[in-house]
Chain A
């Protein structure tokens, strides 16, 4: 199974260098080939499992509690301005 590494890297927001593309394409294609074995398994009437706890209806009350302070929220960034996180704009127009 050949994987379009450039497309997938873009979807995954991962910057790849040109030499990395070939390397990953090879490795990922090998791994995907290994997955072919799953085709042998008859799952026609088998339900999917996404959670193993069998829990349902876990919700919380609508009560509000204290939040982090503005300082705490911003404590891990250098790029900030007036209490806001700062990032290079993504052009939309």
Chain B
């Protein structure tokens, strides 16, 4: 197996037993990027020199056992979604507004990842400002799906998902405001975690919708996801919305299995609106869960149908305010450099907050949000977790939905309610249809990531979809 195809766990093992060095591991990733990024367009910036410098330093430190123990990602190449501020390294949000912007500080999570010894290998492409579900809204060209380059990789964390799926790095970071980790994970046969809102600091990450943005990551396996979460989770004094709960070892229940666990299927998520093939795949998955010993219970989340409307009012409202700072005075280019989707969302949000409309739109949506939260709270009284498909359709072709904003927004119908409620979701592969990956999400109450990993691990070990690789 090539070094860049390793998981975090495997890479850690190899570095520890000195089978290979971090420099070799990093070079393998850089090679892969050189080979395939032109086609896939997963990276906006590749930090080759900095990465090799860090790798050399990591190799020095790795010779000291206590350092290797303390720094849990020592020597491991990680890619960052280009919304994450990196000191001294261009951070563009995939927008022409920030195409030359160089932050003077690291995001809190970036600092944590660096302190854990990871090698930052580059900044990945995404929908500009995280506005999108397909990866086509980037001002730097769309990212392609490595499983079939005519298809979208999903968004908005398109580049991050693809970079892991095509083994350009060992893991990558992303953000999930309405499904932007879970959706591309499910389109790329990788594992994506959307943590509980507030579990990971948003400080330094270019804000999309402040009350919805969740900071997560992509990995090749569920165990890797838990290992990575051990690094990023935790309260941050620079972000007043982070939760004070102490960070546990998120791998602790991986092997517990799911016998006796109650798994809910929200019936509103598996309606006739689902593609037939997607529905079939999901039903197979449910069977697997039952075979593994879980009790399958049908659940109702009655306000699901209002999720998209509530989300697409609240999110653009907050977006319109968060993007007001981009005026070209202190950094970046002026507002004429915004792309169409950004302009649409800014105007939509400005309207829904404006005088005379605030009550009917923003305030109304905030009330519906309360009802959606209650739906989940009621459900979690009855079950330990919910599982569902991630997208009502299979991946679509590049250009297919780009001119129909509402159609594009509807791809989020199964993911947005988790963001409105602030609950965590783990997206993992459940197979392939016509060569294209399909995924599912496991949703749990706030702060239930240990359980999500437990459930995901059981399914993953029983199915091993991840062993398949795209033909690049």
Contacts and interface: CB of A to CB of B under 8 A. Distances in A.
A64 interface: no
A66 interface: no
B354 A41 contact: no
B406 to A, nearest CB: 6
Interface in B306-347: 306, 308-310, 312-313, 320, 324, 327, 329-332, 335-336, 338, 343-344, 346-347
Contacts of B351: 3, 8, 28, 32
Interface string B270-303: 0000000000000000000000000000000001
Interface residues of A, number: 44
Nearest to A9: B347
B348 interface: yes
B198 interface: yes
A44 B327 CA distance: 40
Contacts of B354: 8, 11
Interface string A21-48: 0001001101110110110110100111
B124 to A, nearest CB: 22
A46 B306 CA distance: 15
Given A8-B350, A14-B347, A53-B243, A85 B330 contact: yes
B192 to A, nearest CB: 20
Contacts of A19: none
Contacts of A58: 240-241
A15 B335 contact: yes
Contact of B344 (A27, A79, A87): A27
A12 B346 contact: yes
B347 A38 contact: no
A92 interface: no
Given A8-B354, A43-B367, A53-B422, A35 B331 contact: no
Interface in A1-21: 3, 5, 8-9, 11-16, 20
B364 A43 contact: yes
A49 B370 contact: yes
A31 B364 CA distance: 16
B237 interface: yes
A75 B366 contact: no
Contact of B368 (A8, A43, A76, A77): A43
A53 B198 CA distance: 7
A76 B373 contact: no
B123 interface: no
Nearest to B372: A49
A52 B368 contact: no
Interface string B1-34: 0000000000000000000000000000000000
Nearest to A35: B309
Nearest to B238: A60
A48 B359 CA distance: 11
B309 A85 contact: no
Contacts of A82: none
Contacts of B331: 76-77
B101 interface: yes
Contacts of A73: 104
B347 A5 contact: yes
Nearest to B199: A53
A54 B395 CA distance: 36
B367 A30 contact: no
A83 B156 CA distance: 38
A50 B211 contact: yes
A55 B100 CA distance: 37
Contacts of A15: 335-336
Contact of B306 (A12, A38, A55): A38
Nearest to A69: B104
B102 A46 contact: no
Contact of B366 (A13, A35, A49, A68): A49
Contacts of B346: 12, 14
14 contacts: A12-B346, A12-B350, A15-B335, A24-B347, A28-B344, A31-B406, A47-B367, A48-B363, A52-B197, A52-B211, A55-B240, A55-B241, A58-B240, A79-B329
3 tightest A-B CB contacts, nearest first: A52-B422, A76-B331, A48-B366
